[in-house]
Structure 1
């Protein structure tokens, strides 16, 4: 693993566990096993590092959503929660911590949420055979809500949202 990848992986673990604000550069250097000089050389600023973490996380998450049914979206989220943990959405948490005032982070979050919305719309079309913007919004809210409810309810929150989505899909069918 190259230095940048090692740093990004260590940063993701820390940002996900402790948050953006609470993760200082000293903690990052220790976790990545490198000097602060090397860290800054490969990361730029803390905000740039967080944006890189979010971009890589987006790629991993969106790859899991290459599915053709709404039920499979929830199955993918169940798998994500099992593998990645139940700490809520790192994108929304980092935006909340920075108040949307850190451009690098705000841009990474906006890009992820836009592509997430587009992907859900594509899956709804694949599942129903037609567009349904209301159902797309409902599925998005169920997925986002399940992600956050899993923090205190565990993976059962995703299963409950999956069952609710199945009812919505069935009602949306002709």
Structure 2
């Protein structure tokens, strides 16, 4: 495993399980098995490392996200949550921890949310025959709500959100 991969995997695990603010660079150095000199050679600090972690997580998430229809969208969310763990959205959690005040992190978080919304807008237009921002917001709320609710209800709650989304889209398509 190369240095970047080792550093990013360690950082993502710690940030995801323990939080951004609670994870210090010293711990990242120890758990990655890299020297602090090597770590700082690859990232300028914790904010830059978090931005890199989020960029890689975003790449992986969207690579597996299926958007050909509503059922596929929610099924891919369920698979992701079962594989990665039901801890809620890391992008939301990091934004909450930083208050949206860390530019390099906020840029990645904003790009993630914009891309997710655009994909859902496209899905809505394909399934109903028309663009509908309100309906896209409803589907987005179900998607993000299912992500959060899975933390305490389990991944089966994603199925309930999918069924609700399908009903909304079917009603709009009439």
Do they fold alike, i.e. is TM over 0.5?
yes
Is residue 144 of structure 1 aligned with residue 147 of structure 2?
A: no
Deviation at 1:139, TM superposition (A): 0.4
Distance (Å, rounded) in 2 between the aligned partners of 1:73 and 1:153:
19
Normalised by the size of structure 1, how large is the TM-score?
A: 0.96
| Equivalent position of 1:117 in the other structure | 117
Structure 2 contact 128–170 (Cα < 8 Å) conserved: no
Cα shift readout 1:138-172 (whole Å, capped 9, x = no counterpart):
10000011101111111022111111112111111
**1:130 deviation in Å?**
2.6
Q: Deviations over 1:45-90 (max 9, x none)?
A: 1000000000111111112224211121101111111111100000
Distance in structure 2 (CA, Å) of the matches to 1:8 and 1:124: 34
Counterpart of 2:54 in structure 1 is 54
CA RMSD of aligned residues (A): 1.1
Match of 1:76 in 2: 76
In structure 2, how many angstroms separate the alpha carbons of the residues matched to 1:129 and 1:168?
14
How far apart, in 1, do the equivalents of 2:153 and 2:27 lie?
30
Instruction: Using structure 2 for the length normalisation, give the TM-score.
Output: 0.96
1:39 lines up with 2:39 in the alignment:
yes
Query: Which residue number in structure 2 is paired with residue 107 of structure 1?
Result: 107
Count of aligned positions: 174
Query: Which sections of structure 1, spanning at least 5 residues, go unmatched?
Result: none
Q: Report what 1:18 is aligned to.
A: 18
Aligned-partner Cα distance in 2 for 1:72–1:124? 13
* 2: CA distance, partners of 1:31 / 1:154: 29
Distance in 2, Cα, partners of 1:135 & 1:70: 12
Q: Report the alpha carbon displacement of residue 128 of structure 1 after superposing the two structures with TM.
A: 2.5
